[in-house]
Amino acid sequence: AGIGALIGAGGLGQAIFRGLNTQNTTLLVAGSFIIALFSVLADQFVSVFQHENALQRLFSQNATQKQKRRVYINLAVFLFLLLASALWLIPRNAIEEKPLVVATKPNSEQYILGEILSLLLEKHHIPIKRAFGIGGGTMNIHPALIRGDFDLYVEYTGTAWVNTLKNPLTQKVDFETIKKRYEKEFNLLWVGLLGFNNTYSLAISKEDAQKYAIETFSDLAFHSPNFDFGAEFDFFEREDAFKGLIKAYRFHFRSLHEMDINLRYKSFESHKINALDVFTTDAQIKELDLKVLKDDKGFFPNYQAGIVIRKEIVKKYPEALEILEKLDSKISDEKMQDLNYQVEALKKSPQIVAKDFLESIGL
């Protein structure tokens, strides 16, 4: 009931994993409570048959009416649920049009984007099934898309270039090449780009940026002896992260602080560090009013968001392509930061945030 949600099989675990990834305590508690209740009921059902052969009780002259009644009730409940499931599933598979399955990775930004796609398509009477919060992200979603288990999702060009197409990070991300290879090798289409670039960057406070006149990575490198830099553990080990950065920009920070990725912003807020690595659409950038610096040497690759859809679906729903193209270049870095902020800091639901966004752009 819980683990199946990690691979898009649905179930009660969806509430738990959405709660964890959006820091929504209500969802987390609700999902955990329902699974616990389900476990208790299942244990009660199994216990009827555990200690002795329950079916023999029905034919035993020594069985009490209470024993027989308990077995009858549990069997009746089991048969009722079995029959209800059959009546529910068979007609749906037989007469309903198969919905498009929208998948997302397990984070707030992806939940919001998944809802934007779903709500927009539903508004145009295209049936949708949500498979949100898939564990493993691209590693599991991409193969499932090829198999036809999912139909569309939002991917990032840098991830497609490096993780899926296996290009070296030293090679510049080429969107035209990505589109051609996805169609040729996977029968998948990229539907334009949404407009924002969720890549790595470096950030400092706006006060420090003004004090030292810092706008770019090169500016920060010049003033780096005045800064204590913090980042997640693996950032310091990777050639495409800190090791490459110090070669490209010659940083000489006053001190370096390795930490869990979830502690970076807390450390900044408590003044343990005053420079850190960020993803450019992080909600905390808006929350802490940070200055995101320009990567003036283009060290980090682009991670522009775009919609990937199965070519077969476009043939079945040709209008879907035109509908989704309406989102092209509609979400800036700042807008995505704000949408993430509304979910993570203000605790709004991704669906409400997505609905409000679509209304704000006339869709």
Q: Is the per-residue pLDDT at 14 higher than 70?
A: no
Highest mean pLDDT among 16-20, 95-99, 201-205: 201-205
Q: Is the dihedral of CA 105, 109, 111, 113 positive or negative?
A: negative
What digits encode the pLDDT tens for the residues 257-291?
999 888 999 999 999 999 999 999 999 999 999 99
Q: Is the per-residue pLDDT at 31 higher than 80?
A: no
User: Distance (Å, rounded) from C-alpha 363 to C-alpha 358?
Assistant: 5
- Domains by residue range for the chain, with CATH: 1-89 (no CATH), 100-197+305-361 (3.40.190.10), 200-293 (3.40.190.120)
What digits encode the pLDDT tens for the residues 125-172?
999 999 999 988 899 999 999 999 999 999 999 999 988 999 987 778
What is the pTM for the complete model shown?
Answer: 0.72
Mean pLDDT for 64-82 is: 65
Q: Is the per-residue pLDDT at 85 higher than 60?
A: no
Please give the mean pLDDT across all residues of the chain.
Answer: 85
Going by C-beta distance under 8 Å and a sequence separation of 6 or more, which residues neighbour residue 39?
none
Q: Is the per-residue pLDDT at 32 higher than 90?
A: no
Among 29-33, 89-93, 221-225, whose mean pLDDT is lowest?
Answer: 89-93
Measured from the Cβ of residue 252, the count of other Cβ atoms closer than 10 Å reads 12
Rounded to 10°, the helix 108-123/318-325 angle is: 120
Contact 100, 150 (CB under 8 A): no
Q: Which residue has the higher pLDDT, 140 or 75?
A: 140
Q: What is the pLDDT of residue 239?
A: 79
CB burial of 11-27 (b: ≥16 within 10 Å; e: otherwise) equals bbbbbbbbbebbebeeb
Q: What is the pLDDT of residue 74?
A: 65
- How far from 116 is each of 182, 305, 328, CA to CA, in Å? 23, 13, 12
**Rg, Å, the chain Cα set:** 26
